[in-house]
Amino acid sequence: MVFTVLAFIITNTGTGHVVPGARYKEYRLQDYSSWFVKQLNNTEKWTHLRSCLVKSDDCNNLSKRYKTLKQYKLAELTPMESGCCRPPAECGYPALNASYFDLSYHPASTNIDCKLYKNVRSVRCYDCDSCKAGVAQYMKTEWRVVAIFNVILFIILSFVYFVGCCARRNAGGSNAKGSGRGKKHSVGCCGGMMEVAMQKVCGR
């Protein structure tokens, strides 16, 4: 449960920002928890993640999946495709296709990512904060799913334990000499477990 609690705390921040004229969203690293930022800014860890992103070749396949600019703008890109395969929209670089941008224009923004982006397969925006933000969003989504699953599993196990506790106490009470005493213990056990179960459900 410790992991579940931490997962909810860490993934409680960060969301996508709407891109005018497009269906996909952009992500900003500063929107995420300091833990995410620290981990993704770790040179050794990011070098490893970066190599995986380059090998995946997802960015180079965008132009194959979306033949026209209209298809590209209407595409629902994943957080990593949005952050790692293209420069931020604020840079103002016109897209020539889904994998190539006209960098002859002077950046319309002072965002350092505008200078880091290159139309090179091994470079793209893999060193951009927007790419790290895309990875953070992906990790956030995955962790949140696991955390929710753990909560549901805990509730189910608590309910099973609660039913077993009640059944055991009731069986013991019926065989005891003092049936009233057994009933009292049964109510106490079941009542306590019910309170715990309700707290878990309400606290989700």
Last residue of a domain, one of 98, 114, 141: 141
Domain assignment present for residue 5? The answer is no
Q: Provide φ and ψ at 2, rounded to 5°.
A: -60, -45
* 43-72 tens-digit pLDDT: 999 999 999 999 988 898 999 999 999 999
For 107-156, how does the pLDDT look when each residue is reduced to its tens digit (9 = 90+)? 989 999 999 999 999 999 999 999 999 999 998 988 887 778 877 888 88
Contacts for 100-109: CB closer than 8 Å, 24+ residues apart: 100/63
Q: How many domains does the chain have?
A: 2
Domain contains 7: no
Whether 118 and 156 map to the same domain: the answer is: no
Mark whether 57 and 116 lie in a shared domain: yes
pLDDT of residue 3: 62
Q: Do 149 and 123 share a structural domain? A: no
User: pTM of the prediction?
Assistant: 0.73
Residue 6 located in a structural domain: no
Residues 171 and 129 in one domain: no
Between 183 and 74, the higher pLDDT residue: 74
Q: What is the mean pLDDT of residues 175-180?
A: 50
Does residue 40 lie in a domain region? yes
DSSP, collapsed to helix, strand or coil, labels residue 174 as helix
User: Is 86 part of a structural domain of the chain?
Assistant: yes
Q: Rounded CA gap, 148 and 131, in Å?
A: 26
Residue (of 114, 129, 110, 104) closest to 50 by Cα position: 129
Q: Is residue 198 part of a domain?
A: yes
Q: Which of 141, 171, 191 delimits the end of a domain?
A: 141
Structure tokens at 204: 């989700």
Element housing 61 (H / E): helix 58-65
Q: Are residues 189 and 109 in the same domain?
A: no
- From residue 171, give the alpha-carbon distance in Å to each of 21, 62, 124, 186, 190: 67, 65, 68, 9, 13
Confidence of residue 164 (pLDDT cuts 50, 70, 90): confident
Does a structural domain hold residue 166? yes
Residue 32: inside a domain, yes or no? yes
pLDDT for residue 195: 43
Same domain, 19 and 77: yes
The pLDDT, as a whole number, for residue 146 is 78
Domain that holds residue 136: 13-141
